Structure 1
Amino acid sequence: MKIVGVSGSKMGAKTRTAIDYTIKTLEEKYPDIDSVVIDLADYNVEFSDGRNYLEYEGDTRYVAQTIMEADAIIIGTPIFQASIPATLKNIFDLLPISAFREKVVSMIITAGSTKHYLIPEQQLKPILSYMKAQLVQTYVFIEEKDFQRKEIINDDVLFRIERLVEDTVVLTETYEKIREAKEAEYGF
């Protein structure tokens, strides 16, 4: 199983901190799972122009191909101006419509206030559903007050991240078993 953690912004450190903690938790609890972090701040990703993701080169192709090869994706995103960052939306635009078919996607949201709590529900979940993702329904919402000096200081947030990791792995394993059972019906 391969799980990709995506830090979906070029700005700030809170989302990367949350994704790093999440992947660290994943690696500690499930050492046999292959995991990788893609921090969009570390890559020069071109704007989508409608080409197939395999026709891009360099960082753009690497990011898109790594996400497409994953069994599960943990998306971390800040909320800016009551919306997801353009860098994250661009990743969705680079990928095919059914990019997340048979993939589990979970979310970690960082925001300055509780006023942005519904942005994932109203913006991110519809995009992911349209792209055929199997969503982990609960997501982790982390506020500004939960961080101090690039560390998560709220134990409840740490617990919710651990639960998100567990839910992501269990759901991915469950969908894999369902796919295997369906394929076995064909008898080839």
Structure 2
Amino acid sequence: MSTHRTLAVVSAGLSQPSSTRLLADRLAGATADELRAAGLEVDVEVVELREHAHAIMDAMLTGFPSGGLAEALQTVAEADALILVSPLFTTTYSGLFKSFVDIIDPDALTGKPVLLGATGGTPRHSLALDYSMRPLLTYLRTQVMPTVVFAATDDWAGQDESALPRRIARAGRELADAVAARPAGGGVDDPFGDTPDFADLLGR
């Protein structure tokens, strides 16, 4: 069994530097630390959506992603797990984040472990993770981790006293456990893998 795992980290932050990217890096670091502690090798590949904003719009219009965006989509599809982090605007994920998710092949995400994070101005926005982001990824048949992580502006001040580091550590541990339990490449055992195709049976 392979001991190598790949994490794809998608950050939808619009500024540079951004608190969204900072949260994404912290979540990736916590997950990678847990996987390495379990004896696994880890590659972390980051996709910054702001670098592909124009290409994402072009792909929405034409249906054909190209260049660096095509590589980013391949990274997401082939990863053993995803960490998705978006800023929240008007209590929901950003349009850039949603547009990127819309051009991902839905079948590429089936069963894939996903850790969700978001950033916003006040803790009042934190519920958006569960009533907007989680349903979106559940619809795509991903395995969304129980713990989601929201970071408000005040969470970055005095982190030793805040709950943010503890939430990051817990979320990273959950994702690492889910990844370690699966074979490399995100494959899962299909209990019906040997079942004949119904269309083939009708054609015989």
Smaller-chain TM-score bracket: 0.7 to 0.9
Whole-Å separation in 1 of the counterparts to 2:159 and 2:52: 25
1:23 corresponds in structure 2 to 28
Change (3 A) 1:20 1:182: same
Whole-Å separation in 2 of the counterparts to 1:113 and 1:79: 10
Structure 1 residues without counterparts, runs of 5 or longer: none
1:5 pairs with one of 6, 9, 14: 9
1:174 matches 2:181: yes
1:49 matches 2:61: yes
Whole-Å separation in 1 of the counterparts to 2:50 and 2:161: 25
- Cα RMSD, aligned residues only: 2.6
Change (3 A) 1:125 1:61: same
1:70 corresponds in structure 2 to 79
1:119 pairs with one of 82, 103, 128: 128
Whole-Å separation in 2 of the counterparts to 1:78 and 1:89: 11
Percent identity, aligned pairs only, is: 21
1:103-137: CA deviations, max 9, x gaps?
01111121111221221222111111111111102
Tell which has more relative contact order, 1 or 2 (C-alpha 8 A, sep 6+): 2
Aligned AA (1:157): L
Aligned AA (1:174): A
Whole-Å separation in 2 of the counterparts to 1:101 and 1:162: 25
TM-score, structure 2 length as denominator? 0.77
